[in-house]
Chain A
């Protein structure tokens, strides 16, 4: 499916709005092409391609709103979808939290679209997988992987004159390599807007190397250890903080950011002063859209600065109620780090555990943000600055807030993908003391 240009999207949305008889009308138009290829046991298993094109119309009368959607764009269909959204709005109960739509906004030009990614063909996908399979076979190991890519556009226009348009591309790749006897397993994941940066061969080599080196793991006692978390492992813990930045939850007293008496930790020191977390839609390594779903501009914003909670995110309703700027939640997060590689962090570690990947993360206690989960696909014991031997996997019970208070050192940030949410982040590898491993797992 060909993406609509900015002019084409503008013209179509203008036509839709012309049919509106509601107090307010907002129209969202989007189209995406998603393709993937999946493999396991050193052979391709499934592969698919889905294109979807959608127009969503929201009409409102006072505080009553209704939504209707269509994927046909002839004049009669466009008018029909507007009428249907108006009918549904008339039938809807009043929503006391409805906020009037935004007027025109200014957005920076996004840098999320890379033509090379939009031009991927089924053959290119198969070739990338063939390279990965070849690398695994050379290591006498078994590969299971997944490559997906997408390209799309989205546009928003409303009856108050707001117009926003963006195009984006993305590709995510993940690979698990296991030794033939099933005693070793390694993992690597990559995410880019630009597919030319993706090297499936190199990522597979890293995973295969971990698989071979992690075989014949020894059991060590669970307990508190210094850990070095690779960015993919850190991502699944830190994103629970990113997801929990909502001001309303904190104000209502039911978040790790709440304090007794209706107060919150906004403006208070939460973690080690070397922790700086922000979002920036124009970061060249991790670009995101410059506007969010309700048309608010996405700007560079600091969430945690020198360990202090600097900003919380707000729905437009809650911001209005609290009389503050309606800062939208981040589309991606960036944590500052240092310059050291993972190897350099290992070299400076007397005793510790290197963690490649964490898995099956679930909240245990929302009050302390205590999480549980397990290590997976490459866990190694470090002593005197060197990896000594592979160790059996652990279950952990730890809070990312406590963890960032036990910070020892940060390495050089890199773009990574959360295995839990599929979101991309720019995060450093990190050395943490007193990380709580509570039991051993026999899983490889």
Chain B
């Protein structure tokens, strides 16, 4: 599913036509089929057909991905169920190296004859493209894992929860928001199960079961007299969890100027707060443009990390493979080689981690059979590493891939995608109140909003959901029309405080787009609340007509 398809489906964008249409990914199925899986022995037999066929046509390396991708959406607005959709996408993608070049072909007809033909097609594409190569593909060595499996450690499979329970939850969420003052509410539960099987000529046969979910709502409230409207989106995070995410316990809630959630989420409570907060936003003071010290909550900061650290440290961007679309990166290899490129202040430690429990990026093995791990990207403010896959590892002098390969479907070719990239908590004991206390003129920002960054990841602009003015160490009230602009290196060097581990939380994106044709991946970003000094804030209020 691409970001724009999701927008179409849910009416989140400007288009916001709220058409309860059929999703364009996968084929609709009976909800009971969401609980089925494909026989492991059958997957191994089909994979061997592809591996053997490609080898016999001259492939020097082959990997096969058999994927069953399951989605369930429950979509409502106000007191209506708009749509309930269950989809399945099932097929096989075959990637080969022949004549030193990559080739890829995919099919959803999984009889032996067609699998062999698809493998042959992948080999012939590789051979055709080899004349346009400048150097042959060089793969980092990878030992075969034999027959292994990995399952996401979820407590409750969301697909096992009856649809009625989900519908009742969303309608009660909408009702709570409306009673608190909202004029319109859209709410949605989005559940994903990726049943992925990987096999390669290295001797790996890897079966994985991955679960993700995202409960989300969008509230709009209108001032009838002026026609002015304000919105507030849910403060939930998309997560690599089961339905237990929606069962928030008292210890999962952080009380403050607004309630925040750690690891579990109370959708009903947040909707009630959201309804009231849209009314408060309508009456809030419009921000005065200028320099402010920003206190950024993890529900907001994840997106800044994603855009300004995650994307520029992708090695394929650094090398120029994304130049035509997503862009390149300012974190060039010479900066890494110098071992002294000052990306951020000494407090800034950023790690890549594909093993973090409950995160969107957690898997046992990536989509080229590499066991996943954790490594530093920024250490004490200095750039020390990137995100790489097997055909890039040699460029960094590594003798193994970092396991960052991913394809969003069996029909898409796998390529380098972002692992979870997270800011490490402060080492000294420090609370959010401690951070706010020291600020003379500042803004506390909660939730993610508008986001935009240039193609080399220097200049960015971010909005948010809730903005609170800080004066002389105290929160004095709500602001609106706030966005901040900065330069990545300048911003991370202005980081003067990070709350300790007790405040650490995950945010994330369900729809990180990259590549041509565009592919979506899901990725988490963790942090504790952090302070950034002297950031340029603009006022976004304009009038038309």
Contacts and interface: CB of A to CB of B under 8 A. Distances in A.
B18 A248 contact: yes
Contacts, number: 250
B526 interface: no
B129 to A, nearest CB: 5
Given A252-B184, A260-B226, A364-B463, A397 B455 contact: no
Contacts of B244: none
Interface stretch (B104-112, B369-377, B423-431): B104-112
Nearest to A133: B132
A441 B455 CA distance: 10
Contacts of A360: 452-455
Given A372-B450, A376-B455, A443-B456, A401 B320 contact: no
B30 A84 contact: yes
- Residue with the greatest number of chain B CB neighbours at <10 A, chosen from A36, A67, A402: A67
Contacts of A315: 17, 19
A444 interface: yes
Interface string B78-106: 00111011000000000000000111111
A68 B85 CA distance: 10
A289 to B, nearest CB: 16
B101 A359 contact: no
Contacts of B80: 95-97
A287 B483 CA distance: 40
A368 to B, nearest CB: 4
Contacts of A397: 461, 538, 540
Given A265-B545, A443-B459, A40 B323 contact: yes
A358 to B, nearest CB: 11
A329 B14 CA distance: 14
A100 interface: no
Contact of A174 (B324, B452, B536): B324
Contact of B121 (A49, A240, A362): A49
Nearest to B454: A443
Nearest to A436: B542
Interface in A190-232: none
Interface stretch (A13-21, A139-147, A163-171, A348-356): A139-147
Given A260-B226, A368-B543, A421-B4, A88 B320 contact: no
Given A36-B516, A442-B330, A367 B28 contact: no
Given A144-B324, A365-B540, A48 B125 contact: yes
A142 B320 contact: yes
Contacts of B125: 47-49, 122
B541 interface: yes
B310 to A, nearest CB: 15
Interface stretch (B43-51, B227-235, B527-535): B227-235
A366 interface: yes
A370 interface: yes
A6 interface: no
Contact of B540 (A249, A359, A364): A364
Interface residues of A, number: 103
Interface stretch (B191-199, B208-216, B217-225, B250-258): B217-225
B291 to A, nearest CB: 13
A256 B15 CA distance: 11
A47 B129 contact: yes
A326 to B, nearest CB: 13
Contact of B516 (A41, A146, A255, A393): A146
Contact of B459 (A34, A130, A441): A441
B335 to A, nearest CB: 13
Contacts of A441: 454, 458-459
B30 A256 contact: no
A369 B13 contact: no
Contacts of B143: none
Contact of B222 (A48, A88, A254): A254
A282 interface: no
Given A144-B320, A252-B184, A440-B459, A126 B131 contact: yes
Contacts of B106: 48, 50
Interface residues of B, number: 88
Contacts of A122: 124-125, 128
B455 A362 contact: no
Given A44-B129, A254-B222, A315-B17, A178 B320 contact: yes
B227 A44 contact: no
Nearest to B488: A442
A391 B152 CA distance: 50
A54 interface: yes
A321 interface: no
Contact of A374 (B29, B226, B411, B459): B459
B415 interface: yes
- Residue with the greatest number of chain B CB neighbours at <10 A, chosen from A71, A243, A372, A374: A372
B131 A372 contact: no
- Residue with the greatest number of chain B CB neighbours at <10 A, chosen from A50, A54, A92, A395: A50
A69 B28 CA distance: 6
A48 B411 CA distance: 9
Interface of B: 4, 13-22, 27-30, 80-82, 84-85, 101-106, 108, 121, 124-125, 128-129, 131-135, 167, 183-184, 220, 222, 224-229, 231, 319-325, 327-328, 330, 411, 413, 415, 450-459, 461, 463, 481, 483, 485, 487, 516-517, 536, 538, 540-545
Interface of A: 34, 36-50, 52, 54, 56, 67-71, 84, 87-88, 92-93, 95-97, 122-123, 126, 129-130, 133, 142, 144-146, 148, 174-176, 178, 182, 185, 240, 243-244, 246, 248-249, 252-256, 258-261, 265, 268, 270, 293, 313, 315, 329, 359-370, 372-374, 376, 393, 395, 397, 399, 401-402, 405, 419, 421, 438-444
